[in-house]
Amino acid sequence: MSDIAKNPDRSFVRTENIPEAPPPISTAGVAGWMRANLFSSPANTALTLLTFYLLYLVVPPLFEWAFIDSLLEGESNKDCRGIEGACWVLIPKRFGQYIYGFYPEPERWRVNLTFILFCLNLLPVLSDRVPGRTFAALFLVFGFPIVAFVLLHGAFGLESVPTHKWGGLTLTLVFASVAILFSLPIGVLLALGRRSEMPVIRTICIAFIELWRSVPLITVLFMASFMLPLFTPEGVNANELLRALIGFIMFASAYMAEVVRGGLQALPKGQTEAAMALGLNYWKSMQLIILPQALKIVIPGIVNTFIALFKDTALVSIIGLFDLLLVARSAVTDPKWLGLEHESYIFAALIYFIFCFSMSRYSLWLERKLDTGHRN
Amino acid sequence: MAVDSQQAGARPSAASWWYDPKVRSVAFQVAFVLALIGLGAYLIHNTIINLEKRNIKTGFDFLFNPAGFEIPLTLIPYSVEAGSTHGAVFIVGLLNTLLISALGIVLATILGFILGVLRLSNNWLVSKLVGVYIESVRNVPLLLHFLFWHFAVFQSLPLVRKAIPIFDTVYIHNRGLTMPKPIPQPGFVVVLISFFVAIAAIAYLKKWARRRQDATGEQFPVFWASLGVLIGVPLLVSAATGFPLTWEYAELGRFRFTGGLEIQIELFASLAALTVYTSSFIAEIVRAGILAVSRGQREASYSLGVRPGPTLRLVIIPQALRVIVPPLVSQFLNLTKNSSLGIAIGYPDLFNVFGGISLNQTGQAIEIIAMCMVVYLTFSLLISLYMNWYNRRISLVER
């Protein structure tokens, strides 16, 4: 440096930085993005082109089938003659059944009201921007089921609607919510039992959990509908929905127990020991120290189990409960709607998808939100 | 301290025995077991009364009674005329469950690995597209997949008399697939034996190649050699015995095929549903497994001069497998359990033929459902034994 300063007759040397040049056009903007992500190598380019071709083959015809060449209004499958695309006619005609099953039409506002109340109740629980989370959660567990039962089943002057008239999405949602409501506390107890120091309790809990986890759900549901009536004393005849629910809750709580156990195992032993050192007894230390931390860790896992359970409720259609899937299935056995399997199943799949997908997005969001303070 | 405790020991009844954690724990466990036994006795009591009242027999004698129904897919000889029993139904169903599970596991693993790798592709379009596919498949109940494949896809294939021919030997129609039926001739056993001999030879070859590589560093093309042995040996043997396998071709009559082998549509529908659904889960497992291998491993391998292919094969995959295999195996178990959903479309698996039809005929719900549960329980125990063994074998040995 000093050499150059001493010799002014040397050729020109810049003393200040030249201004930053914009990035080359090939790495910035849309072109750059495409270059990096779609056409980075010959093989990649070929793959991109092939994918575009496949999309071209699939998407436009599918779009035409579903929206352009399709028919939305009509009386029966006779109207579908000459229609090349989807024939959605049965969806608007049977919409009520997809959602409410055989719930009497003048009483359907009760289902809607229950659903709206449920959503309002759920809002503070799911998001921390709405105040009153603790109260809402407590009400959701202890108060809301009673409200829902009164509204759906009828009491205090509301006309009684027996459970065999419930159906469609309503039944699916009721079934899933009740199963989730009961399986979580039972699952927590089972998980605690599995990690208990009492050998008898531990063995029984392990046997219970492993038994339910290793058999298919459909076996459990068959057991509930064929064997439960044999177990109950004479005269007591549990209704079909309740029987299926009992089986489903057993099954669900075993899965829940394993998720909760993951959380319990993730906690360092020091937490339990610290709680004991403070003089807390077992239940107090679980309630105040261990479970709040363990459950927080596994909330995403619990939500994932909810999704799996929600999908599994579809199996009750095999034992004859009139849930969303059975509605979709029996709608197309009606001679009026024969041959509309694609439309009916796609509609049902869409409803299931909306619920499951939003739950899984929520779980991802939660995972990101809860993933604080563990990295550093 | 020592003095204190001696003094404390001198007055044993100061704290009530009720506050001794050991006593409490024993008391609690005894009470729990007693309650459980009481509940069990109550249920058994009710059951006995109910069974007597409904005139349902108990015991496993029904297994030896003839079952009066046909099963469309049987891997062992079974027929109503020959008086096949409910016991035979059990075996047939079990084999069908194993068949669909084995096929499903192979196909779902292949498809799942492909999807998982594509999901990680650095091609944005491919990765996103596979992501959308996986999300839309796994957020729909499996039962709906079954119904969709069966009723909406396969049943809208052409009728039998308009079956789609492939080279005039295999026909696709809405009842299934008709193909030539293999008829083994006398010498066929020899070919079968040679096939197993070839497999044994490959196992030996692999061992030998490994030993040689350890000793001399020279590699041997095991894969191509094995493939050659696997195809070549049985082919040579069957040529020597004069090709002891003949085919009976199907003839299309007016409404149906005569001769040939018909594979029912239910098998394909179940297989498609199980494969598509499970592969979307396997894809996510594979993706997570590959992502779990740290970048440094790949970079280290490259800097040692190992090319991308061998890097993937020798460095990345073996480490990813450590993460992939446990959840993968539990997906296999799930697939096996899920194959019981075939009942919805009539695939004759264990639960459909035994837990469904046999149960309806005999009414012996307890025995039949217990037998089904024991079968699935056995699968699951075998799988967890295997998992424990595998985990012990591959767990990191740290110094």
CA A345 to chain B, closest CA, distance in angstroms equals 6
Task: State how far residue A10 is from chain B, nearest Cα, in angstroms.
Answer: 44
pLDDT 10s digits, A31-49 = 788 887 778 788 888 888 8
Coil vs helix vs strand at A153: helix
With an 8 Å Cβ cutoff, are B144 and A37 in contact? Answer: no
Tell me how far apart the alpha carbons of residues B67 and B85 are, in angstroms, rounded to a whole number.
5
A135 contacts chain B (CB < 8 A)? no
Give the nearest chain A residue to B41 (CA atoms).
A231
At residue A288, the 3 state secondary structure works out as: helix
CB B267 within 8 A of CB B235: no
**How far off is chain B from A4, nearest CA to CA, in Å?**
41
Structure tokens at A345: 């199943």
Q: Nearest-CA distance from A226 to chain B in Å?
A: 6
Within 8 A of A229 by CB-CB distance, chain B residues are: 50
Dihedral sign for Cα A144, A149, A150, A152, please: positive
Supply B49's token pair.
């009364």
Task: Say yes or no: A357 contacts chain B, CB-CB below 8 A.
Answer: yes
**Nearest residue, CB atoms, B143 vs list A55, A198, A325:** A325
Interface contact A345-B152, CB threshold 8 A: yes
Q: What would the 3-class secondary structure string for chain B be?
A: CHHHHHHHHHCCCCCCHHHCHHHHHHHHHHHHHHHHHHHHHHHHHHHHHHHHHHCCCCCCHHHHCECCCCCCCCCCCCCCCCCCEHHHHHHHHHHHHHHHHHHHHHHHHHHHHHHHHHHCCCCHHHHHHHHHHHHHHHCCCHHHHHHHHHHHHHHHCCCHHHCEEECCCEEEECCEEEECEEEECCCHHHHHHHHHHHHHHHHHHHHHHHHHHHHHCCCCCHHHHHHHHHHHHHHHHHHHCCCCEEEECCEECCCCEECCEEEEHHHHHHHHHHHHHHHHHHHHHHHHHHHHCCHHHHHHHHHCCCCHHHHHHHHHHHHHHHHHHHHHHHHHHHHHHHHHHHHHCCCCCHHHHHHHHHHHHHCCHHHHHHHHHHHHHHHHHHHHHHHHHHHHHHCCCCC
Q: How far is B124 from chain A (nearest CA, A)?
A: 5
Residue A237 touches chain B, beta carbons under 8 Å: no
CA A245, A251, A252, A257 dihedral sign is: positive
- Contact, A319 vs A221, CB < 8 A? yes
User: Of A51, A201, A349, which is closest to B32 when you measure between CB atoms?
Assistant: A201
Q: Taking CA atoms, what residue in B is nearest to A225?
A: B365
B377 contacts A214? CB cut-off 8 A? yes
**Site of tokens 């293999």:** B182
Task: Judge: A38–B125 Cβ closer than 8 Å, yes or no.
Answer: yes
Pick the residue from chain B with its C-alpha nearest to A312: B141
pLDDT on residue A375: 43
Min distance A109 CA to chain B CA atoms (Å): 28
CA distances from B196 to A143, A341, B42, B200 (A): 66, 46, 55, 6
Chain A interface disruption, residue of B140, B335, B339, most A CBs within 10 A: B140
In the numeric block, the tokens 């339990």 are attached to: A272
SS3 A28: coil
- Among A205, A210, A222, most B C-beta atoms within 10 A, so best to mutate, is A222
Of A47, A216, A352, the CB nearest to B140: A352
Tell me if residue A237 falls in helix, strand or coil: coil
pLDDT of residue B2: 46
Q: Which residues of chain B have pLDDT under 50?
A: 1-10
Return d(Cα B14, Cα A372) in angstroms, integer.
49
Cβ contacts of B49 on chain A, cutoff 8 Å: 233-234
Inter-chain contact B47–A329, Cβ cutoff 8 Å?
no
Check CB contact under 8 Å for B147 and A329.
Answer: yes
pLDDT of A7:
61
* Helical axes A199-214 vs B21-54, angle rounded to 10°: 40
Tell me the C-alpha distance between A189 and A286, whole Å: 11
- Flag if B29 and A40 touch (Cβ within 8 Å): no
Partners of B152 on chain A (C-beta within 8 Å) are 341-342, 345
Q: Cβ neighbours of residue A250 under 8 Å, at least 6 residues apart? A: A212, A220
Measured between beta carbons, the chain B residues lying within 8 angstroms of A346 are: 148
Q: Give me the residue spans of the domains in chain A.
A: 31-58, 90-103+161-370
SS3 (DSSP) at A323 = strand
Q: Can you say whether residue A339 is alpha, beta or left, with left for phi > 0 and alpha for psi between -120 and 50 degrees?
A: left
Burial of B283 (0-12, 13-18, 19+ CB in 10 A): buried
- Chain position carrying tokens 């992502």: B291
| Residue keyed to tokens 């998407």 | A59
CB contact under 8 A, B129 and A55: yes
**Can you give the C-alpha Rg of chain A in angstroms?**
30
- The candidate with the shortest Cα–Cα distance to A230, out of B353, B367, B87, is B367
Contacts of A184 (CB under 8 A, 6+ apart): A253, A256, A302
Nearest to B165, CA basis, from B250, B240, B97: B250
* Residue in chain B lying closest to A310 (CA): B141
B341·A349 Cβ contact <8 A? no
Interface check for A238 against chain B (CB to CB < 8 A): the answer is no
Alpha carbon of B319 to those of B207, B280, B281: distances in Å?
22, 22, 20
Calpha distance A220→A248 (Å, rounded): 7
As a residue count, chain B comes to 399
Residue of B nearest to A345 (CA): B148
CB contact under 8 A, B46 and A345: no
CA torsion angle B214 B217 B222 B225 (round to 10): -120
Task: Tell me the chain B residues in contact with residue A341 when contact means C-beta distances shorter than 8 Å.
Answer: 148, 151-152, 155-156
Q: Do B50 and A312 touch (CB under 8 A)?
A: no
A355's CB contacts (< 8 A; 6+ apart) are A310
Q: Which residue of A has its CA nearest to B52?
A: A230
| Residue type at position A229 | P
User: Chain B within 8 Å of A197 (Cβ-Cβ)?
Assistant: yes
Q: Report the residue of chain B nearest A43, measured CA to CA.
A: B123
| Chain A nearest CA to B71, separation (Å) | 20
Which of 3.10.270.10, 2.60.40.10, 1.10.3720.10, 3.30.365.10 would CATH assign to domain A90-103+161-370? 1.10.3720.10
Chain B interface mutation, best of A51, A90, A205, highest count of B Cβ atoms under 10 Å: A51
User: A314 to chain B: which residues are within 8 Å by CB?
Assistant: 141-144
> Is residue A72 a contact partner of residue A142, using CB atoms and an 8 Å limit?
no
For A275-286, how does the pLDDT look when each residue is reduced to its tens digit (9 = 90+)? 889 988 888 888
Residue A117: how many CB atoms within 10 A of its CB? 14
Residues sharing a CB contact under 8 Å with residue A45, sequence separation 6 or more, in sequence order: A38, A39
* Separation CA B169–CA B332 (nearest Å): 34
B120-127: Cβ within 8 A, 24+ apart: B120/B287, B120/B290, B120/B291, B121/A47, B122/A37, B122/A40, B122/A44, B123/A37, B123/A38, B123/A40, B123/A44, B123/A47, B123/A48, B123/A51, B124/A37, B124/A38, B125/A37, B125/A38, B125/A48, B125/A51, B125/A52, B126/A47, B126/A48, B126/A51
Nearest residue of B to residue A342, measured between CA atoms: B152
Q: Distance (Å, rounded) from C-alpha B263 to C-alpha B178?
A: 6
User: What chain B residue is nearest to A33 in terms of C-alpha separation?
Assistant: B124
C-alpha pair distances (Å), B9 with each of B5, B14, B343: 6, 10, 68
CB atoms B141 and A352 under 8 Å: yes
CA distance B119 to chain A (A): 13
**Interface residue of B32, B50, B56, B143 to substitute, partner A, most A CBs within 10 Å:** B143
Give the number of A-B residue pairs with CB atoms closer than 8 Å.
159
Write the DSSP string, A51-111: HHHHHHHHHHHHHIIIIIS-B---SSGGGGTT--S-BTTHHHHHHHHHHHBT--GGGHHHH
Among B104, B95, B98, B103, which residue's Cα sits nearest to residue B74?
B95
- Could you tell me if A324 and A168 are in contact, meaning their C-beta atoms sit under 8 angstroms apart? yes
Phi first, then psi: give them for residue B156, nearest 5 degrees: -95, 10
Nearest to B123 among A47, A223, A317 (CB): A47
**pLDDT, tens digit only, all 376 positions of chain A:** 555 556 656 677 788 888 888 877 777 778 788 887 778 788 888 888 888 898 888 888 888 887 777 777 777 777 777 777 777 877 777 788 888 887 777 777 887 888 888 888 787 777 777 777 778 788 887 888 887 777 777 777 777 777 777 888 888 988 898 898 889 899 999 999 988 888 888 899 988 988 888 888 988 888 888 778 778 776 666 788 888 898 999 999 999 998 898 888 888 888 888 988 998 888 888 888 888 888 888 888 888 889 989 999 989 888 888 888 888 888 888 777 777 778 888 888 999 999 999 988 888 888 787 766 544 3
